[in-house]
Structure formats: structure tokens, C-alpha cells
Amino acid sequence: MASFATQVIRLSLKAVSAISAEAAGKTAFWIFCRTPSRRPRNGKEAALLKAAAPVMARSRKVTLSFAGGWVAARHFERRPGGRGPRVLLAHGWGSRSDHLAALIEGLHAAGAEVVALDWPGHGASPGRSLTMPQAVRAIDAAWRHFDGFDVGIGHSFGGASLACAAGAVLCDVPARVPAKLVLIGAPSEMTWLFKGIGKMFGLAPRAQVAFEGMVERLSGRRVDYYDATRILSALRKPVLVIHAEDDKEVPADHARRYGEAGPNVELHWANGLGHRRIVSAAPVIEKITAFLREEVKGAQLRRIA
């Protein structure tokens, strides 16, 4: 059964649609893009944030500007003697960089330099909404500030955003392609998401068209252009996809789509870890650091501008 809030949204959008299907679609888009509260959802999350605080305190806060706004990032410089890659780390929807503290520690211990982004409307960044074009611009801002990255690691929405940034989905932002990508519990395309949200909101066909059309209005690309599997198969860069078959937020079929993108994609199942615990599980972190140590065939790690 739909939640009370969803029922209210459905009834409201139905009323708007009776007057204007286009207005209903636009309204649905901005409801969809609204980010959740930053307050801990429960005591467990509050405890996780408290435990992450000492790790985050070892970083330097950086402000990154892009067209239309700015985001905060945490910069963890390499430990003395560290020779690992420079890593851009991106969290998922409704999360924040603090939730990736265990992964940050693992990467840092392996000698990596780490930059962890907070998306607009999340963590220490301002705003109450987030779109994929904003995420791609935030990645571009980090790329310009730090002169590129050897590796991009993203969880959920963060993984999809890194793939889209590598595929130059925005007409005015160049492709930002690291030598390696790690996608954890990440959706493989946006059409699935928009169809699902439209169904949840009870959008009529014309309102659904307007809802999806907002993507093209903001980015110049249709929603079906945001297909990460198409991007990865064209890039031919080493990609590690980590997913749990028991993930209830991003179905495992997305990982299977990635796995079929080409021989450059390695699919690793981390079953039993769901959608959120997967980013802090020790076996997953060990798999990622091992992947980063593997040499890129034919060349050392190289960043593409």
C-alpha cells in the first residue's frame, strides 16, 4: 500500500493534471528531485555519523563551484609515503560522504588520495534538490579543481553520475573519464527510474511525457540517453561493478546489464549486504583496493581531460 504522503501526491497531481498535464509533469519532476532531510533517520544512523566523525575530521573541506551553485567536498591527502591513485568518491541519494567513512579509511590505508563529494542538497552542501545535470557539473568542478582523478568510485546514484560524467551527457561539459571506475549498487539507466516514479505518482500518459521531458529541458538530452551501460561499453575502461542480489532499492538486473556491457566490466556479487551496508563491508573494501592495485593493461593509470 502506498504511504500517506504518496497518496497525497497522487491526488494533488491528478488535480493539477485535470487542468494541465504539462504542469502536472513538471510538478512531479520537482517533487522527485527534492532531497530528503539531512537529519539522522534513526538512532542507528546517528551512531554511524558519530563514529565517522574522527575519520572526517582528518580531511580538509573544499568548496567547489559550478554553473548554478556549489558543493562541499572532503579532501584526504595521501599518507606519508602513499603512492596510491587519486580517487573521486561519490555517495548515493539521501546519503552523505560521512556514510562512506569505512571505505575512505580503506582507500586511505591503501595509499590513495581521496576526494569525497557531498551532492547538492546533501551533507555539507546547500540546497534541497538534486538532478543528474547538477551531479555531472559537480563532478566536473571537482575534476577541474584537482586536475583530474585516476579512479572514480560511486555508490547508487553516485555510481550512475560518475558513469554519466564519463559519457559527456551534458553538451557543455567535457567527458571526465578516469582510468578506472567502481560502481556499487548503481542503477544502469534512468528510464527505469522515471517509469517507476511516474507509476508511483499515478501520472497519466501526457503528464508522464512532460515529466520525462524535463530531463531534456535541463540537459539537452532525452531521458533514454542516460544509459550507463552504453557509456561503459564505448569507453572500454576497466570497470568493477559490485552489487547484491538482495538489493531492494536497485534491482540486480542493473548489475547484469552492466556485466553484459563488454569485457572491460567485471561483475562482483556481494550478496547478503543489501543496498546500504555494502559500502562499508570489509570484503567489498578489500575487493575495491585489490582492483585499484591491478595494472591497466598497456598503460599506467592515466587521466583523460
Q: Identify the pLDDT of residue 295.
A: 74
Q: Identify the pLDDT of residue 3.
A: 84
Q: For the packed helices 4-19 and 205-219, what is the interaxial angle rounded to 10 degrees? A: 90
Find the angle CA(121)-CA(126)-CA(131) to the nearest 5 degrees: 40
In whole angstroms, what is the distance from residue 120 CA to residue 126 CA?
A: 6
Q: What is the largest CA-CA distance in the chain?
A: 65
Q: What is the per-residue pLDDT across 212-226, written as a single tens digit (0 to 9) for each?
A: 999 999 999 999 999
Place of cell 555539507: 124
Which cell numbers hold the place of 167? 559519457
Q: What is the per-residue pLDDT across 274-288, written as a single tens digit (0 to 9) for each?
A: 999 999 999 999 999
Q: Across residues 72-86, what is the average pLDDT?
A: 95
Which cell numbers hold the place of 48? 554511524
Residue 42 burial (CB count, 10 A):
8
- Give the contacts of 158 (CB within 8 A, at least 6 positions apart): 89, 90, 91, 92, 117, 119, 135, 186
- The answer to whether residues 200 and 211 touch, using CB atoms and an 8 Å cutoff, is no
Is 51's pLDDT higher than 90?
Answer: yes
Pick the closest to residue 131 from 98, 171, 174, 164 (CA basis).
164
The DSSP letter of residue 79 is: P
CATH class of 47-189+226-293: alpha beta
- 160 CB-side CA count, 13 A: 24
Task: List the domain boundaries for the chain.
Answer: 1-33+191-225, 47-189+226-293
Q: What is the per-residue pLDDT across 150-175, written as a single tens digit (0 to 9) for each?
A: 999 999 999 999 999 999 999 999 99
Q: What is the per-residue pLDDT across 98-123, written as a single tens digit (0 to 9) for each?
A: 999 999 999 999 999 999 999 999 99
Q: 5 falls in which pLDDT band (50, 70, 90)?
A: confident
Pick the closest to residue 137 from 113, 114, 169 (CA basis).
169
Which cell numbers hold the place of 156? 547508487
| Element housing 139 (H / E) | helix 132-146
